[in-house]
Structure 1
């Protein structure tokens, strides 16, 4: 399938190498997650629909464009929260709706514990934000929720994906584009990405 987009950008590769380092402390880790969130969102939003608009400049009228779509950010709690600020720097009008999922450590299946979406969709495009696409369970479950909500266009934005998680998301939702900083080798027996960067939530919030 052709809906997987690892970033080719040198800045993304550089920042990801620092993020992976076991010696990178939580403050720096959070900063890098925010910066990578902005860079990856820049790449993920190149096909957003635009509307023409006339803008008055000091020298005359300019033919310009503005976004024609309302954008929603769906960070998967808790690790996805770190990506929001970076996206907001680019799209300050984006709405943020939280979905809480945790992975059962025995079954590796997602368990939903928080969902405050309104009855009707308020946005036309959703960016699902989660640093790690490991087993793919949380991503698939979140997209399931958003489609039941009625959202027509959904993209996944994350830092690192494992082949297993990418395949799971592609099979369940082949219409969802997947934007990542890198695709890694495999999952270990505990469902962690190898070589990965460890637990993205623990490393952001200093709870490792």
Structure 2
């Protein structure tokens, strides 16, 4: 199955840079190597890799004793790594600027000019806190729904892989089955599914609050 470039995700500016980097290293890289080459922190790198695993856009190979990450994108990258990093840094800057503008908008004072007998009075009005909170709540709900959709897609993907790999035959014989670069027992496989279902339940609970 062909996997195309679809990395215009506003909250993860380093997605394209990650896959461009991994396309240049077909044997894969560790999380530490990826963080170093992208110039991002280990925690940001781990969040990015976890997100891409949920989207089923990268594979994790544990055969060396250390997880080695490889891209599943089959189409050559659009940009060079240097250009992808420049775009990522610009997008990250714009993301921070957008957040700063949202915070600034919450503190902006609305001006109302009242003319009375050619005398202009300026009154300072408090910002509409309710509207700001409502807009932030809408954006948060959209992000939560996207996370839920990604997790549901991840569950469907690994179940499909397990079925194609005929893992049931191996599990019935108390053996492990190779799924996305990992050898899993049936209990480990079901535990991973249950953990993602728990995440979905928690996200739905948060989205209804």
Q: TM-score, normalised by structure 1?
A: 0.22
Higher relative contact order (CA 8 A, sep 6+): 1
Q: Which has the higher strand share?
A: 1
Q: Which has the higher helix share?
A: 2
TM-score of the aligned structures, taking structure 2 as reference length: 0.22
Rg larger in structure: 2
